[in-house]
Amino acid sequence: LGEAITAVQDVHEYFPDDQPLQDILSKLESRRRGAVVRSRQRKADEHVASIGDLFAAAQGARNFGDSMAAIQGYERVLAADPDKQTELYWKAEEEIRQIKAELSARGREASRSGLSAMKSGDYLTARAQFRETLRLDPFNQVAQRRQDEVQAKLDQLAQKFWSEAEIYEKTNQLEMAIGRYRKVMEYCASASSPLSQKAKKRIDALMQ
Residue 200 has pLDDT above 70, yes or no: yes
Distance CA 162, CA 88 (A): 56
**DSSP tag of 190:** -
pLDDT in tens, 98-126: 998 888 888 888 999 999 999 999 999 99
> Alpha-carbon Rg of the chain, whole angstroms?
34
The dihedral through the CA atoms of 54, 56, 60, 61 has a sign that is positive
pTM of the model: 0.60
pLDDT in tens, 150-182: 999 999 999 999 999 999 999 999 999 999 999
Distance CA 138, CA 154 (A): 22
pLDDT in tens, 37-75: 666 767 765 677 788 899 999 999 999 988 889 999 999
Mean pLDDT (whole number) for 24-29 = 81
Question: Which region among 20-29, 102-111, 166-175, 184-193 has the lowest average model confidence (pLDDT)?
Answer: 20-29
Provide the phi-psi class of 52: left if phi over 0, else alpha when psi is between -120 and 50, else beta. alpha
Angle subtended at Cα 162 by Cα 157 and Cα 167, rounded to the nearest 5 degrees: 125
Q: Which residue has the higher pLDDT, 20 or 45?
A: 20
Q: What is the mean pLDDT of the chain?
A: 89
Q: How many CA atoms lie within 13 A of 70 on its CB side?
A: 21
The dihedral through the CA atoms of 138, 111, 128, 159 has a sign that is positive
**Could you give phi then psi for residue 83, rounded to 5 degrees?**
-90, 0
